[in-house]
Structure 1
Amino acid sequence: MNCFMFPGQPLSRGTDLPDDSDFRTIVDMARRRAFFDMEGFSWVGNVATDNVKLQVFGTVMSLYRFRGLRREYSLPEFIAEHSMGIYPALAACGCLAEEEAIEMTFRVGVCLARMGETHSYALGCVVGLCREPLLAIAENHGVFMANYNTSRHFLLSGERSNMEAAMAEALDTGAFSAKTFPCDTPLHTPLIGEIDGELREIFADYRYAEPRTRLMDHINQDCLEGGDLADFLREELQRPVYWEKTYRALRASGVSGFIEVGMGDSLKKYNRWIDGEMSS
């Protein structure tokens, strides 16, 4: 069995963009539904943050990549998603139209970015520490675990000054790497509850079809149904991403082929690490 994996927001834009009819079609959708000019990497008459640009860019590239894969492969037995990869994943499953997935990415991104107008937030990427000492560090500094990617690769989220102190302690505790990245919002933490009502209104604006293949969520590793989606979309922004659990659940379900559908190969790298631990 195969699984298409949709990654979250890329950290940077690509340098070489495709030039074919599929790409031009999706670029036009982004301009009309998200006010985003892909070629210029700029807003069209509407201003949002650079992080929102990357979020829309990530969704566009995943949708484009999915179109190409569907010419090579049948619809896979499973689709998996990591963080904001849920939006193009919904289009791949037929729950939303491509245009709706792009629009949703933009609307959610703009809503989240408003939190950054009053506070300064950051992500912290830690490699090399185990879960337990990192949980203690997060608690010490008032930040939150946001991504459990592998047994030694984690993302934390919270206020920037607290995150910088947490990353310093992580290095002192023996982390191989502990880096801070500025962001608009404390994604995948309870702090997002501050805008829960606004998010609820966004997700209520869409009608969700039943997935045409199994869509595994990154929280409980359940297969989502159409009626679950509005609540899941709101909830997942306030809870961590459990990628290692998701990958292990997919393996246990019989999946042997994994294809990353988007920019980069971060999920493939996590999978290789997890495979190494499973075979040792």
Structure 2
Amino acid sequence: MICFMFPGQPLAKVPTLPDDAEFAEIAAIACDRTGLDLESFAWRGEPATDQVALQIYGAAMGLYRNRVLRRAGFNPAMAAEHSMGIYAALAAVDALPEGEALELTSRIGRTLAGMGKSGSYALGCVTGLSAAPVLALAENNGVYPANYNTSRHFLLAGEQHGIEAAMAEALEAGAFSVSSFPADAPLHTPLIEAIAPELHNVVADYRFSEPQVPLMEHIEQDFLTAADIPGFLVRELCLPVRWEATFLAIRRAGVTSLLEAGVGESLKKYNRWIAMEHG
């Protein structure tokens, strides 16, 4: 049984984009629906932040990889998503057309970016500590757990000064490595609830079909229905991603092959770490 996995926002654009008809078509749709030229990474319409551009790029690459994998004969019996990977996943399971998925990615990203006008936010990655000390240092510094990727790989989100202090505390506590990245908004934390009404208004402009392939969500590992999707798209931005639990639920469902549809192989790496620990 095959599962397609759709990763979240990439940290950077790869130097060379695919050079084939499939990607050219996806890039044309992206430019038309979002105003972003993927080749130049320049805006053809109203500009947005670098983070919004990366979100659109990540969604476009997810759509492209979905097409390529299917043309190669891989037909998923299930799909799973991580963070901003939800938008490409929705198109891949025919719950939303590709163009609307890219447009929705852009509109959600621009709404999130509005938070950056009144605050300075960041994400912090901690590797090597277990959940208990990570949660403690997050609380000590007023930030929040945003991703439970493995038992020893976590992402925190919050105000930039709090993330920087949390990363320093994590090193003192024995973390193998820490890193931090700028963010438009504190994704997957309760702080997003401040703009939840705006996010609901964006999502309300779209009509979702029943997924034609079961799509497992990353919060409670349930399969999304068309009726679930609008609420989930806002709720998931306010709650942490639980990828370790998602991967284990995928395995329990009988999946034997997981193929990553997006930029890089971050989920494949997490899966390997989780499998080594759980056998």
For the criterion TM > 0.5, the same-fold answer is yes
CA distance in 2 between partners of 1:272 and 1:253 (Å): 18
Q: Partner of 1:254 in structure 2?
A: 254
Q: Find out whether 1:64 has 2:31 as its counterpart.
A: no
CA distance in 2 between partners of 1:207 and 1:239 (Å): 23
Q: Partner of 1:123 in structure 2?
A: 123
CA distance in 2 between partners of 1:79 and 1:261 (Å): 10
CA distance in 1 between partners of 2:262 and 2:164 (Å): 30
Residue pairs, 1:118-197, within 5 angstroms = 118-197=118-197
The Cα offsets for residues 94-116 of structure 1, whole Å up to 9 and x where unpaired, read as 00000000000000000000100
Q: Partner of 1:235 in structure 2?
A: 235
The Cα offsets for residues 84-130 of structure 1, whole Å up to 9 and x where unpaired, read as 00000000000000000000000000000010011000000000000
Residue 227 of structure 2 aligns to a residue whose secondary structure is helix
Q: Partner of 1:224 in structure 2?
A: 224
Segments of 5+ residues of structure 1 without an aligned counterpart are: none
CA distance in 2 between partners of 1:265 and 1:190 (Å): 28
Contact 1:75 1:213 in 2 (8 A): no
Q: Partner of 1:96 in structure 2?
A: 96
Contact 1:121 1:186 in 2 (8 A): yes
Instruction: Give the AA of the match of 1:243.
Output: W
Scaled by the length of structure 1, what TM-score is found? 0.99
CA distance in 2 between partners of 1:17 and 1:142 (Å): 39
CA distance in 2 between partners of 1:3 and 1:252 (Å): 12
Q: Partner of 1:3 in structure 2?
A: 3
Instruction: Give the AA of the match of 1:40.
Output: S
Instruction: Give the AA of the match of 1:90.
Output: L
Residue 181 of structure 1 aligns to a residue whose secondary structure is strand
Residue 79 of structure 1 aligns to a residue whose secondary structure is strand
Runs of 4+ in structure 1 displaced over 4 angstroms? none
Q: Partner of 2:201 in structure 1?
A: 201
Contact 1:8 1:58 in 2 (8 A): yes
Instruction: Give the AA of the match of 2:275.
Output: D
Deviation of 1:77 (Å): 1.1
Deviation of 1:74 (Å): 4.5
Scaled by the length of structure 2, what TM-score is found? 0.99
CA distance in 2 between partners of 1:271 and 1:57 (Å): 23
Q: Find out whether 1:15 has 2:15 as its counterpart.
A: yes
Aligned-residue Cα RMSD (Å) equals 0.7
The Cα offsets for residues 229-265 of structure 1, whole Å up to 9 and x where unpaired, read as 0000010000000000000001011111000001000
More moved, 213-222 vs 65-74: 65-74
CA distance in 1 between partners of 2:78 and 2:21 (Å): 27
Residue 5 of structure 2 aligns to a residue whose secondary structure is strand
**Percent identity between the aligned chains?**
57
Instruction: Give the AA of the match of 2:47.
Output: V
Residue 237 of structure 1 aligns to a residue whose secondary structure is helix
The Cα offsets for residues 30-60 of structure 1, whole Å up to 9 and x where unpaired, read as 1110000011111112110000010000011
